[in-house]
Amino acid sequence: MISLRDLANRELLDLVPYEPGKPVDDVARELGLDPSSIIKLASNENPLGPSPLAVEAMRKSLESAHFYPDGGGFHLRTAIANAFNLGRENVVLGNGSNEIIELLFHTFTRPGIHEIVTSRHAFAVYTLMAQLFGVRAIVVDDVDFTPDLPAMLRAVTPQTRLIFLASPNNPTGTRVTNEALETFLRELPPHVIAVLDEAYYEFLDNPPDTIGHVRNGERVVLMRTFSKIQGLAGLRIGYGLATAEITDLLQRARQPFNANAIAQAGAIAGLADIEHQKKTKAITDEGRQFIESAFARMGLKYVPSSANFVLVHVGDGGEVFKRLMKKGVIIRSMVSYNLPGYIRVSIGTPEQNARFLAELPAALEGLVEVANGERDTPTVGWSPSAIV
Ligand SMILES: Cc1ncc(COP(=O)(O)O)c(C=O)c1O
């Protein structure tokens, strides 16, 4: 009898699925720990939780859960457009911004014909999706964990349709400069759509005016999400911003009800809660500084971050992940990103950050040399290229 593997799509067979952060419940079950004693700093979630206004709006919307959602997302798209001084026709909703990535492949690529360009250590879903769609991904080496934009431009061929750039990038936390981004966008040939993944945009100081490029009618798609600064990752809601011509194409590729009603209600209220976003940025900035200075005092090599997480060299990330997990601290091993010596830790509340740092020295034993903490000036000017 013909095997199921022979019946399945060839692209699927070699696919290594995306490895998400380990859920608290899984760790509690596997290790017999009390879930309330576990902290998760593994998925760049918001340690403050969702905006209370979003929670209230979602509660209300539950009572109408017997109705299908508004497939056109009229109110949420209007709210997003108003927030950014764009038109509703410039907004497309996604089941998380991850879905926008998928819509882009559906819309602009053909298997075996087209290519995408991305950078080494970029968010994993771009290349995963390329594989699934049978599209060749050209992965350009980065410099100090930062995308090398001129090299990415040089990698473009007549077959390239999408070029993916996350700034800040996950898992490195690095950003490109506003000037470099401007040059990059100016020099991109017209047969290539620039996909700017702005999942962590709201954490930036001095952010680039990327929306200006949408208003200018350029071939860019901005991907943003309610999962990070808004604290609504469980709802799966994100959006793309682009010209009406581009969003019209993307809208054709989505399922009729891809954004659920509860998510739409929560997102509208969350978007309006500017205070909650400000609080989240403030706690993130403080926590990041606290964690980065502690790494520096310990003599650990970390990549200075512009987002709500930090990538740090610990010798054996898989082992440190296991040791910390046994102590009820979930972080992310970077083995799947081909960075086996690293872990990535999300910024939590001050208590969570302190607990992670208290457990860390024991988890590093025998793996990496740790300074005794007497040096309290951070290692400034450390360049990741020294150890890559
Ligand atoms: C760079 C980047 N882009 C996109 C996403 C997807 O976010 P979501 O699908 O939750 O909107 C993530 C999630 O971690 C991310 O780190």
Choose one of 218, 248, 273: the last residue of a domain.
273
pLDDT per residue over 312-369, tens digit each? 999 999 999 999 999 999 999 999 999 999 999 999 999 999 999 999 999 999 999 8
Q: Whose CA is nearest to atom 1 of ligand 1?
A: 170
Distances (CA, A) of 182 to 178, 199, 221, 274: 6, 19, 15, 28
Q: Whose CA is nearest to atom 7 of ligand 1?
A: 97
If pLDDT is split at 50, 70 and 90, which confidence band does 385 have?
Answer: very low
Q: Whose CA is nearest to atom 13 of ligand 1?
A: 199
The pair of structure tokens assigned to 190 is 């017209």
Provide the pLDDT for residue 157. Answer: 98
* 60 and 30 co-located in one domain: no
Q: How many angstroms separate the CA atoms of 164 and 130, rounded?
A: 11
The pair of structure tokens assigned to 104 is 């882009």
- Comparing CA positions, the residue from 60, 57, 59, 62 lying closest to residue 76 is 57
* 28 and 144 co-located in one domain: no
SS3 of 73-94: the string is CHHHHHHHHHHHCCCHHHEEEE
Give distance in angstroms: CA of 101 to centre of ligand 1. Answer: 10
pLDDT per residue over 219-262, tens digit each? 999 999 999 999 999 999 999 999 999 999 999 999 999 999 99
pTM, entire model: 0.94
Give distance in angstroms: CA of 365 to centre of ligand 1. Answer: 32
Helices (H), the chain: 4-7, 10-13, 24-31, 52-62, 74-84, 97-108, 125-133, 149-154, 178-187, 210-215, 244-253, 261-272, 274-298, 317-326, 350-363
Q: How many angstroms separate the CA atoms of 132 and 255, rounded?
A: 18
Choose one of 249, 273, 297: the last residue of a domain.
273
Distances (CA, A) of 36 to 52, 319, 325, 328, 352: 21, 24, 14, 9, 12
Q: How many angstroms separate the CA atoms of 172 and 144, rounded?
A: 10
Residue with tokens 């988890």: 363
pLDDT per residue over 111-135, tens digit each? 999 999 999 999 999 999 999 999 9
Q: Give the number of other Cβ atoms within 10 Å of residue 48's Cβ.
A: 17
Q: Whose CA is nearest to atom 2 of ligand 1?
A: 199
The CATH number of whichever domain residue 27 belongs to comes to 3.90.1150.10
- In the DSSP assignment, the letter for residue 208 is -
* 332 and 346 co-located in one domain: yes
Higher pLDDT, 375 or 287: 287
Between CA 106 and CA 159, with CA 135 as vertex, the angle to 5 degrees is 95
Distances (CA, A) of 321 to 125, 202, 333: 22, 28, 6
pLDDT per residue over 266-312, tens digit each? 999 999 999 999 999 999 999 999 999 999 999 999 999 999 999 99
The pair of structure tokens assigned to 357 is 């740092």
Provide the pLDDT for residue 17. Answer: 83
pLDDT per residue over 53-99, tens digit each? 999 999 999 999 999 999 999 999 999 999 999 999 999 999 999 99
Cis peptide before 168 (omega within 30 of 0): yes
Give distance in angstroms: CA of 339 to centre of ligand 1. Answer: 19
Please give the number of the atom of ligand 1 that sits closest to the Cα of 44.
Answer: 14
* 16 and 128 co-located in one domain: no
Provide the pLDDT for residue 373. Answer: 59
* 232 and 286 co-located in one domain: no
* 135 and 191 co-located in one domain: yes
pLDDT per residue over 38-65, tens digit each? 999 999 999 999 999 999 999 999 999 9
The pair of structure tokens assigned to 96 is 């998380």
Q: What is the DSSP string of 301-345?
A: -EE--SSSEEEEE-S-HHHHHHHHHHTTEE-EE-GGGT-TTEEEE
Please give the number of the atom of ligand 1 that sits closest to the Cα of 168.
Answer: 1
Please give the number of the atom of ligand 1 that sits closest to the Cα of 43.
Answer: 14
Burial class for 124, CB neighbours closer than 10 Å (0-12, 13-18, 19+): middle
* 352 and 377 co-located in one domain: yes
Give distance in angstroms: CA of 175 to centre of ligand 1. Answer: 15
Mean pLDDT of 21-26: 93
Give distance in angstroms: CA of 98 to centre of ligand 1. Answer: 6
- Report residues whose beta carbon is within 6 angstroms of any ligand 1 atom: 44, 96-98, 123, 166, 170, 197, 199, 225, 227, 233, 238
Show the domain range for 337.
4-49+275-386
Helix axes 350-363, 274-298, angle to 10 degrees: 20
> Does position 376 have pLDDT exceeding 70, yes or no?
no
Give distance in angstroms: CA of 108 to centre of ligand 1. Answer: 20
> Does position 380 have pLDDT exceeding 50, yes or no?
no
Give distance in angstroms: CA of 226 to centre of ligand 1. Answer: 9
Between CA 43 and CA 50, with CA 44 as vertex, the angle to 5 degrees is 105
Q: Please tell me the total count of domains within the chain.
A: 2
pLDDT-above-70 percentage for the chain: 96
pLDDT per residue over 24-43, tens digit each? 999 999 999 999 999 999 99
Q: How many angstroms separate the CA atoms of 209 and 32, rounded?
A: 48
> Does position 388 have pLDDT exceeding 60, yes or no?
no
Provide the pLDDT for residue 152. Answer: 98
Q: Whose CA is nearest to atom 3 of ligand 1?
A: 199
* 83 and 159 co-located in one domain: yes
- Comparing CA positions, the residue from 366, 98, 133 lying closest to residue 254 is 98
263 with 235: CB under 8 angstroms? yes
Choose one of 242, 273, 304: the last residue of a domain.
273
* 247 and 362 co-located in one domain: no
Residue with tokens 């859920």: 23
* 264 and 129 co-located in one domain: yes
Residue type, 14: D
Please give the number of the atom of ligand 1 that sits closest to the Cα of 169.
Answer: 1
Provide the pLDDT for residue 370. Answer: 87
Please give the number of the atom of ligand 1 that sits closest to the Cα of 200.
Answer: 1
The CATH number of whichever domain residue 98 belongs to comes to 3.40.640.10
* 242 and 163 co-located in one domain: yes
33 with 49: CB under 8 angstroms? no
* 217 and 334 co-located in one domain: no
> Does position 197 have pLDDT exceeding 70, yes or no?
yes
Give distance in angstroms: CA of 22 to centre of ligand 1. Answer: 16
The pair of structure tokens assigned to 7 is 């019946």
Give distance in angstroms: CA of 199 to centre of ligand 1. Answer: 6
Please give the number of the atom of ligand 1 that sits closest to the Cα of 101.
Answer: 4
